[in-house]
Structure 1
């Protein structure tokens, strides 16, 4: 029987997500941090690396399947935005200023790593080294003539390594399990499924407005702002159950891990090594910034470190939730980081005309 291509994609997406869920349960049983996201990421990554032949040719995990779960996470984070958080925003001026310095220094460091150590051409090194703005980096890098395969690999490795290292590193820092590894919950205790239709409605509305006004990471920040407006105004209560959070983590983790399909050999090993150097440097710089800011802002070191960790808005918001840091504050910092990075890429494209002249080997 002939199966239509789109039906094949649906079946494989559901199958991979189911396998990812199994990995999430195993990780939860092992008390790993962010078990449902990391467990599904590991399992799907192993499939992509070693059994990619079982996937249809050209298979890509559909963003349309991932989108609703990103919206759920965005809405849940938005419900944490309280009037007290809004009133405290002026007090974050010092951390925003430090974040501006961090973005410039991190991007310069990464460029040197990928250019001098990795031997990448200027465009690939520059856009691989951005400390944020994954999709924008890929789009602008392709226009500049960067090697898209290497660029995509490095950007996803950045996110994956950060969301793995940060919770584990914080557990070692405090000398005891933290976040989900310590049994903390990510959602409101006792929440059931009755509010999910309203959660989805708020998420869709926020996504639409976010895309219209071109918010960075609109799939997350749009629903976040919509949920924050609903919560602060008192229009409705938006409890998100733990089961919905777990499913969202599985889908996000699976979609990240499957990106490794077709990547193997020396190129993969080299890219992983470069990413480890890059991420270690950025996390070290972020830790230094957090230590400087802690006495100035009154924020806890772990909240500041997560705010500077370059792991992507969605993923680092999940880390913040698992560690019971304030996800709204963390997300605000990450949106600011992405905006700075995108502005920096645009400025570099104008002031550095030779950036895209050297076409990389294909």
Structure 2
């Protein structure tokens, strides 16, 4: 006699609960072991590993957006008038980092095109270190394989998030950030103003249909409130840690047994080009370090080919130039999204030649 099956909603609820419990335990253990970015890297590896063994884990619906909101809100508290004035002095550096990321992406795309056995659009948009959704949408317009492109970007972000914090920690990099949050204490009377400013930013970005609304919207909304002199509360530490946990869960749930089985050759080349992009971005940071007073560890985060929220929270936890890293990654996404179609037409002619 067979047992009655659970309703799908109940099954999904159990899978989500199991994911959150596993992620919380992994984050707590990673924090006890003093690992870098424990509340994001711990859940990321634990959930991805469980998924690779066949466990049906699911992320919390809206969890990634909630995590991005927490990160964006925390980052916005760094932007004061003095910080903005200092960032203006580094404008050439920020532009050079963004344009350099576009050039390095083209180099990796040429290698992927030669080794992966895919079409030109798939190779280009899979190798460009932009946002996964933006690159997938652009690739769809040019006939690229959207599923492979999304998988390549998930693998790239996981490698960057996994390797870079450990490399910086192993190198003995100590937090020496001259930038600090302008609101350092949790003040309940000002907390509604913080939430309101952040959600207003999200609403504006959603209305304008701008990508990364849940991380850039709160960042801009809170930064504008700070610059306007509105008194704001700090974000509790457990909220920031919870945001990291939810992002780690969302990233980890992208992986499964079928993830690498679908196109093993393509995924192997995607891993190779992701590692190459990390090495090339560090070389770019080294070159920029020769021409600027910004420390090399901060520049290595500013040029790293990771996601906006992941790299910015890395800078916050390691205390390495949070506003500069944030501005560099925001401009990188803008340059890659706007410049990708034009660059792709040039890339296609070069590939044909």
State the TM-score bracket (shorter-chain normalisation). Answer: 0.7 to 0.9
Q: 1:238 aligns with which of 221, 233, 236?
A: 233
SS at match of 1:297: coil
SS at match of 1:36: helix
CA contact (8 A) 2:23 2:245 kept: yes
1:359 paired residue number: none
Cα–Cα, structure 1 residues 192 and 86, in superposed 2: closer, same or farther, change >3 Å? closer
Once the two structures are superposed, the pairs formed by residues 180-191 of structure 1 within 5 Å of their partners are 191=186
2:38 paired residue number: 35
Cα–Cα, structure 1 residues 163 and 268, in superposed 2: closer, same or farther, change >3 Å? farther
1:280 partnered with 2:237: no
1:49 partnered with 2:52: yes
1:135 partnered with 2:130: no
How far the C-alpha of 1:316 sits from its partner, in A, is 0.3
TM-score when normalising by structure 1: 0.84
Q: 1:87 aligns with which of 85, 96, 105?
A: 85
User: What whole-Å deviation, never above 9, does each CA across 1:200-225 have from its counterpart, x for those lacking one?
Assistant: 32221110012223444221111101
1:24 partnered with 2:19: no
User: What whole-Å deviation, never above 9, does each CA across 1:126-170 have from its counterpart, x for those lacking one?
Assistant: 110111121111122233332233211110111111111111111
TM-score when normalising by structure 2: 0.86
Cα–Cα, structure 1 residues 62 and 244, in superposed 2: closer, same or farther, change >3 Å? closer
User: What whole-Å deviation, never above 9, does each CA across 1:36-93 have from its counterpart, x for those lacking one?
Assistant: 10010011101221124x35xxx6x465232222112111100001211211233223
SS at match of 2:107: helix
Cα–Cα, structure 1 residues 23 and 141, in superposed 2: closer, same or farther, change >3 Å? same
SS at match of 2:62: helix
Which piece of structure 1 moves more, 245-254 or 108-117? 108-117
User: What whole-Å deviation, never above 9, does each CA across 1:88-143 have from its counterpart, x for those lacking one?
Assistant: 23322321342244123212122122211222221211110111121111122233
Give the Cα–Cα distance (whole angstroms) in 2 for the partners of residues 332 and 4 of structure 1. Answer: 46
What runs of 5+ residues in structure 1 fail to find an aligned partner?
180-184, 356-362
2:335 paired residue number: 340
What runs of 5+ residues in structure 2 fail to find an aligned partner?
none
Give the Cα–Cα distance (whole angstroms) in 1 for the partners of residues 98 and 33 of structure 2. Answer: 38
Once the two structures are superposed, the pairs formed by residues 283-298 of structure 1 within 5 Å of their partners are 283-298=278-293
Size of the aligned set, in residue pairs, is 343
1:182 paired residue number: none
Q: 1:213 aligns with which of 186, 208, 211?
A: 208
Give the Cα–Cα distance (whole angstroms) in 1 for the partners of residues 17 and 293 of structure 2. Answer: 45
CA contact (8 A) 2:99 2:335 kept: no
1:226 partnered with 2:229: no
